[in-house]
Structure 1
Amino acid sequence: MSSAQEPAPPTTTGSIPRARRRVPFWDNARFACIVLVVLGHGIQRLIYDSDISYAFYLSFYAFHMPAFAIISGYFSKASPPTKKQMVRVLTDILLPYLIFELLWSVTKWLVEGQGSPNITQPSWTLWFLLALGIFRLVLPYLALLRWPLLWAMAISVGVGYIANVDSTFSLSRTLGLLFFFTLGWWLREHDIVRRFQLIDYRPWWLRVTALAVLAFWAFACWFWLDVWKTIDLRHWFFYEDSYADLGGEQWWAGGFRIVLMGLALLLSAAFFVLLPRRNTWWTHLGQYTMYVYLLHSFVLYPFRESGVLRSLDPTWLWLPVITVVSVAIAFLLSSKPVRTVFRPLVEPRPAWLFREPELITAEGHRNDPTGSRRS
């Protein structure tokens, strides 16, 4: 797990290598993605009663988690892990997962009167933590093979045919998104972003094209909404259920997933093109996406479960309101006061747990599982 810093460009023989530099684009992209995560969970209850909300939901649910997986893969390594990296998997992924699963069990017991801990079935958003752990476990083996992208694609498509691969340890969803994570690693491994200036080169016509792509997809979500409801497109975007469970018993059902994966890549690329490349006043918040990711579900939980988000009318008022509130939640949960209070839960550092405690105390920063560096 590396930081969200780009390696310095190669230098001529005999010159002094330049230090790594932090690239604002990646922090901007990471924070924009986590805002979409909060927004999707915030408006989810509206989609049952509002077609506009449903279309809006589909417009970014088609790509926001694939985009997040691409970013995570870009800052991952396929080399054998060092001791320090192995410790970080435990402290940045496994321990927060166990802590927040326990918190969810307590919350459900207090609110619903039932809360049986089951670490094999991730609660709500915690599936992505397990996914990150499994991604890192699988990547070194994929990297040993020829054509790792092709193998990752075969796994992502093929898993949908296996009905008994389900949400246990979020395996179905993880394998369904494996291609996007592997693609992110492949882009970094082959230095594609720097060689083709994918961050720096952004002429006006490319931005117009990207905007047109996103706008056309938003229009398609609205214009053909009845079709998307009929085929239950929303659940196809989860990459979680088998094709049979989604009504795709035909042998060619995997082809539909390939089409959706292509759509996710196109929309992700358009999304990335439109993001700012320079430092903004919110760029630094991209380093703290795990706070937003792990905490926002507790903020939204009472509103979702109480039913207050159902039957809100008029939509033209409530959809913008909830959108603004969702964005505000993302900013709030990544703020310094929140990070200070919840750091022991989100960033546990139990030196007493390890035989070599200096592995987690020697450096002034650790890596966010999504790839960002936390100071």
Structure 2
Amino acid sequence: MTNISQPAPAREQKRRVPFWDNARFACIVLVVLGHALQRLTYDSDAALALYLVVYAFHMPAFAVISGYFSKAGQQSKRQMSRVITDILVPYVIFESLWTMTKWLVEGRANPNPTQPSWTLWFLLALGIFRLVLPYLALLKWPLLWTIGISIAAGYMSNIDSTLSLSRTLGLLPFFTVGWWLNEHDLVRKLGLLRHRQWWLTASSVAVFAIAGWATWTFADTWRAVNLREWLFYDDDYSSLGVTGWWAGGVRLALMAVALLLMTAFFVLIPRNTHRWTRYGQYTMYVYLLHSFVLYPFRESGVLRGLEPSWIWLPIVAVASVAIAVGLSSAPVRAIFRPIVEPRPKWLFADSAWSSPGGRDNDPTGSRRDTPATPRKERQ
């Protein structure tokens, strides 16, 4: 009897899950909103309340998403080159742009690449997250280790904003949580992306309502204890005015609050595809460019003393969404792609390491739809 070899079945492609794009876009809108609100918080308790709620969880949520799409296994040379092309090169480009902007507008500049300008700290954090993840994956209790590292870093005054190390170590547990969820396939096993029960939605709304009430009602208290600075994960405890041994407990409590708020946030994120879902593939454009849009408004003082809050806060919120949509648009991407997604072939021994074939996702793990990769098959 003659054996006839059957063709191997085609490898099943993962379908793109719109939830993650929706979550990315919602996170980047919150980033823009948080930066737009900053000047309003000096004169408005309502603005401060919204600002504190946003800052309590939005960057931890971004770290979780980034960790979810990060791999701890052996990296190919192409994957290793991505740390350079997607993180280090854009960082150098935008740090240089900010240095020139400050020199032209403010008449001063500090060309020090070890001190990230404004939003650029997260790029360095992503790079460090990727570099340390393979080592964290070797540990028996990576989540507990990173929580301990985050808390311990706050006691050390020599760990500061140089190379964004303080914020990186502070947010490392959230990145690790994201990786851990994917590593153990918990999102699928627990059915976390299935249809939401009504009580989950109601509970999540209640969580945000309580958070908003607490931040608004006790606004003066939060100002007095520098809560805003605590949420940055940037300063050591003594710089925040706490020298007691229990200072690490404050950070632990804030991490617990962040976990609760981001859980409620993820519950409320739509599971289906919407017209704006595709913008979640281009969050790096918004992240790197929105600060240049907001800079004139923040520095000119036009965002100070805007009353009443019930009128201006919705306007700022709508404007933040518009900025995020505009910076995600195709024309903006076409213009700024050379600096947001540079492909410096001259930098590598093998130019293929920076070729488009290896650049279908950004540093947060958002995979792009390309002509060679059908939209319905990619996540």
Per the normalisation by structure 1, the TM-score is 0.94
| Alignment match, 1:347 | 341
Q: Among 59, 73, 78, which residue is 2:72 paired with?
A: 78
Matched residue count: 362
Q: 1:364 to 1:138 in 2, by over 3 A?
A: closer
Q: Among 237, 248, 257, which residue is 2:231 paired with?
A: 237
| CA–CA separation in structure 2 for the residues paired with 1:369 and 1:118 | 23
Between 29-38 and 359-368, the greater mean CA deviation after superposition: 359-368
Cα drift, residue 360 of structure 1 = 2.2
Q: Among 141, 160, 164, which residue is 2:158 paired with?
A: 164
| CA–CA separation in structure 1 for the residues paired with 2:246 and 2:287 | 35
| Alignment match, 2:90 | 96
Residue 359 (structure 1) aligned with residue 363 (structure 2):
no
Q: Among 259, 263, 272, which residue is 2:253 paired with?
A: 259
| Alignment match, 1:176 | 170
Question: Helix, strand or coil: the match of 2:365?
Answer: coil
| Alignment match, 1:268 | 262
Residue 126 (structure 1) aligned with residue 123 (structure 2):
no
Cα drift, residue 353 of structure 1 = 1.8
Q: Among 301, 304, 313, which residue is 2:295 paired with?
A: 301
Cα drift, residue 364 of structure 1 = 6.9
| Alignment match, 1:338 | 332
Residue 145 (structure 1) aligned with residue 126 (structure 2):
no
Q: 1:370 to 1:364 in 2, by over 3 A?
A: closer
| Alignment match, 1:213 | 207
Between 335-344 and 211-220, the greater mean CA deviation after superposition: 211-220
Structure 1: any 5+ residue segments left out of the alignment?
Answer: 1-13
| CA–CA separation in structure 2 for the residues paired with 1:183 and 1:15 | 35
Structure 2: any 5+ residue segments left out of the alignment?
Answer: 1-7, 371-379
| CA–CA separation in structure 1 for the residues paired with 2:93 and 2:169 | 24
% identical equivalent positions: 66
The amino acid that maps onto 2:170 is: G
Cα drift, residue 306 of structure 1 = 1.0
Would you identify which runs of 4 or more consecutive aligned residues in structure 1 move more than 4 Å? 14-17
The amino acid that maps onto 1:35 is: V
Cα drift, residue 327 of structure 1 = 1.3
- Cα deviations by residue, 1:96-138 (Å, 9 ceiling, x for unpaired): 0000000001111110111231100000000000000000111
Aligned residue runs from structure 1 range 9-28, under 5 A = 17-28=11-22
- Cα deviations by residue, 1:256-300 (Å, 9 ceiling, x for unpaired): 111110000000000000010010000000000000000000000
| Alignment match, 2:244 | 250
| CA–CA separation in structure 1 for the residues paired with 2:129 and 2:308 | 42
| CA–CA separation in structure 2 for the residues paired with 1:355 and 1:364 | 16
Cα drift, residue 365 of structure 1 = 4.0
Aligned residue runs from structure 1 range 22-61, under 5 A = 22-61=16-55
Question: Helix, strand or coil: the match of 1:366?
Answer: coil
| CA–CA separation in structure 1 for the residues paired with 2:195 and 2:222 | 35
The amino acid that maps onto 1:96 is: P
Check whether the contact 1:88–1:367 (CA below 8 A) recurs between aligned residues.
Answer: no
Cα drift, residue 80 of structure 1 = 2.5
Cα drift, residue 322 of structure 1 = 1.5
Q: Among 274, 283, 288, which residue is 1:280 paired with?
A: 274
| CA–CA separation in structure 1 for the residues paired with 2:112 and 2:215 | 36
Check whether the contact 2:78–2:358 (CA below 8 A) recurs between aligned residues.
Answer: no
| Alignment match, 2:59 | 65
Check whether the contact 1:96–1:348 (CA below 8 A) recurs between aligned residues.
Answer: yes
Q: 1:322 to 1:139 in 2, by over 3 A?
A: same
Cα drift, residue 321 of structure 1 = 1.3
Question: Helix, strand or coil: the match of 2:357?
Answer: coil
| CA–CA separation in structure 2 for the residues paired with 1:65 and 1:45 | 19
| CA–CA separation in structure 1 for the residues paired with 2:245 and 2:75 | 39
